[in-house]
Amino acid sequence: MAIREHTLENGLEIIAEVNERAYSAAYGFFVKAGSRDEAIELSGVSHFLEHMVFKGTANRSADQVNRELDEIGSQSNAYTSEEQTVFYAAVLPEYQDRTIELLGDMMRPALRADDFETEKQVILEEIAKYDDQPPFGAFEKALDYHFSGHSLGRNILGSVKSVSDLQVGPMQGYFDSHYCPRNITLIASGNVDFDRLVEGAKSHCNHWDDVPASHDPQRTSRVASHLSTTALTHELATQQYVVLVSDAPAADDEMRFAARALATIVGDDSGSRMFWDMVDTGRADVAAMGPHEYEGTGVCLTYLCCQGDAVAENLAAIQRIFQTAERDGVTAQELEQAVNKICSQIVLSSERPMSRLFSVGTNWLSRREYTTVREAVQRYRNITLNDLHEVLARFPYNHHSAVAVGPNGNVEWPSSSP
């Protein structure tokens, strides 16, 4: 495999991991804009705009966009996160030109008023759906309390009020300032003809206005965390859903690899200490944890789902598991098993160009870094027990905020919880 790079005259970067032995290719426009970049009155605009990109352009209707994606047999979609919005398609190599032309056109959506109002109702229904099904917004509420007023704590979908109040004009302004070529990277992976890719991007993207982004996505400072415990009653819930949020390494912190390995040992959804103690024994339906990294900050989310009358017992069990790890550490055998598990996942997923697309794209947007599969595996192989001890010292699991949602509004929190 080879990494190829090119920058168009208007500032659009093109990054491709070329693997001529692959049977498919994947392409994506990675926009460095997400929910953390939104003003509070525009909360949800990044996700709303993601929807609007599929509603047509000056050259295509929404039906034409979707029909052409089907005609080339693509596996295509988009997603919005806190820090990026991504539009992607995986296709057979012979459809590269059509894919770049179509995605390039989609990246300049028409933002028609009638489509805007129709899609607004779709998003409001989406917000309502997540509020009315398990875990009833527990993750969003937990992050909201933990980040306390910072945009990282706001729902990616926005609120009912912010989405209802949003108009086409402010969305167009957000688009103009965030979807400029210097804030977008075209990523490709798999069986890619790079020279043709560059020519296609020149033909279909070079006319995009070369203007500097008016926003300044400075994300280097660590976001302050706020510790609290909150229990919310939900009349539709039959089980208790608890989310604990503790600090974790940021996206550019080299300790992030050790933190991932440690979370695999302590709370992976299978084969971890938490799994064997709580899930395998039937005490909880779900008990798992994992780190989430952002630029400048990070969190570790622990999720518990159990019967309402078992929540106190299970929270105490989680506390004991955390305390044992912080007091006694982990064993060399546990570390080896966790590293093997992670490395297997990396290698197996890397066999699909679409998986590599997301890995290459996210690494480039977050750190302007390209990492081969071999290099990624070696970073985990280099983890030591001392690294895990350092993670536990810097980011103690029991130092967390907590939110419970369910039938039990009077949760008995362990004594060490804030």
Identify the active-site residue in 13, 17, 38, 50. 50
> Among residues 8, 42, 393, 34, which one has the least CA distance to residue 203?
8
> Among residues 54, 52, 80, which one has the least CA distance to residue 157?
80
Torsion of CA 174, 208, 66, 360, to 10 degrees: -80
**Ordered DSSP codes for 82-100:** SS-EEEEEEE-GGGHHHHH
Task: Show the 3-state SS of 273-309.
Answer: HHHHHHHCCCCCCEEEEEEEEECCEEEEEEEEEECHH
Compute the distance between CA of residue 201 and CA of residue 109 in angstroms, rounded to an integer: 17
68 is catalytic: no
Both tokens of 405, joined, read 């949602």
> Among residues 247, 100, 257, 295, which one has the least CA distance to residue 187?
100
Compute the distance between CA of residue 350 and CA of residue 346 in angstroms, rounded to an integer: 6
**Length of the chain in residues, anyone?**
418
Compute the distance between CA of residue 26 and CA of residue 358 in angstroms, rounded to an integer: 9
Contact 361, 185 (CB under 8 A): yes
Catalytic machinery residues: 50
